[in-house]
């Protein structure tokens, strides 16, 4: 059964305060994407052992699961791949038993597709060997990925995908063809509206654009669907939009 999620930065507060507020204000949420922000070089920004213990308590008390988004500043698709940093973050969060670890393989890390693919495959392979999280390590589809890169992610990598449909919309592309072909590879789906910027309320999306994708996900997907927004207003409006589309599925 699909679990509806959101991020650990909905309120301007720390991770634990966010989760405590989210479970009260939006009890339909069943997964929290723990954001590791800009901490690839310095792990001091990650939760302390005591905070990790509290994350586990919150999960048990509120039927929560977690996904973990690895730091945005990790460089894994270029010659100077930061493997050790990625593995350190993964091991730091293992106590909360994440459903998935999500990472970017940025197109801008390498000058051409061949180098990007070679470096990315090497990085992912080394991370999986060092951390043993193959079935939970997900590569996210990005708005900078070319069609060639998206095809390679879906067919050549030994790990699941995090399909970010908002990134497709940001490129003015329909995510449905990719979802229909590759749904069995998706462990996590990110959804968010696109206005002047992405990661905004789903209320910004034309209903004729949102409805087919949202209905397909509701009917066919049984992983984690993360409403990837970063404030309460965008989260609540997005939940209202999905409630109108899905009815009792959001309650």
- Label residue 120 exposed, middle or buried (CB < 10 Å: 0-12, 13-18, 19+): buried
pLDDT above 60 for 119:
yes
Q: pLDDT value at position 145? A: 97
Which distant-in-sequence residues (6+ apart) come within 8 Å of 172 by Cβ?
none
Q: Which of 74, 82, 133, 125 is nearest to 104 (CA)?
A: 74
pLDDT above 80 for 37:
no
Q: Which of 237, 239, 67, 20 is nearest to 162 (CA)?
A: 67
Rounded Cα–Cα distance for residues 139 and 119 (Å): 14
Q: pLDDT value at position 38? A: 64
pLDDT above 70 for 205:
yes
pLDDT above 70 for 40:
no
The predicted-structure confidence for 47-97, as pLDDT tens digits, reads as follows: 999 999 999 999 999 999 999 999 988 999 999 999 999 999 999 999 999
Q: How confident is the model at residue 191 (pLDDT cuts 50, 70, 90)?
A: very high
């Amino acid at each position: 059964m699909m679990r509806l999620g959101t991020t650990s930065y909905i309120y301007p507060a720390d991770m634990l305060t966010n989760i405590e507020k989210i479970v009260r204000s939006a009890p339909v949420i069943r997964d929290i994407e723990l954001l590791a922000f800009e901490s690839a070089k310095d792990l001091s920004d990650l939760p302390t052992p005591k905070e990790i213990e509290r994350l586990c308590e919150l999960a048990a008390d509120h039927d929560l699961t977690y996904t973990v988004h690895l730091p945005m500043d990790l460089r894994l698709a270029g010659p100077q791949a930061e493997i050790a940093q990625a593995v350190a973050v993964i091991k730091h969060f293992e106590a909360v038993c994440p459903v998935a670890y999500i990472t970017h393989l940025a197109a801008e890390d390498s000058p051409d597709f061949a180098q990007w693919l070679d470096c990315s495959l090497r990085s992912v392979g080394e991370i999986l060997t060092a951390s043993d999280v193959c079935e939970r390590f997900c590569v996210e589809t990005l708005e900078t990925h070319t069609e060639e890169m998206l095809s390679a992610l879906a067919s050549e990598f030994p790990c699941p995908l995090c399909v970010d449909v908002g990134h497709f919309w940001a490129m003015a592309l329909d995510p449905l063809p990719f979802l229909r072909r590759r749904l069995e590879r998706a462990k996590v789906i990110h959804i968010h509206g696109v206005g002047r910027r992405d990661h905004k309320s789903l209320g910004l999306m034309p209903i004729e654009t949102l409805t087919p994708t949202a209905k397909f996900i509701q009917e066919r997907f049984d992983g984690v669907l993360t409403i990837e927004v970063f404030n309460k207003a965008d989260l609540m409006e997005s939940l209202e939009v999905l409630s109108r589309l899905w009815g009792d599925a959001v309650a």
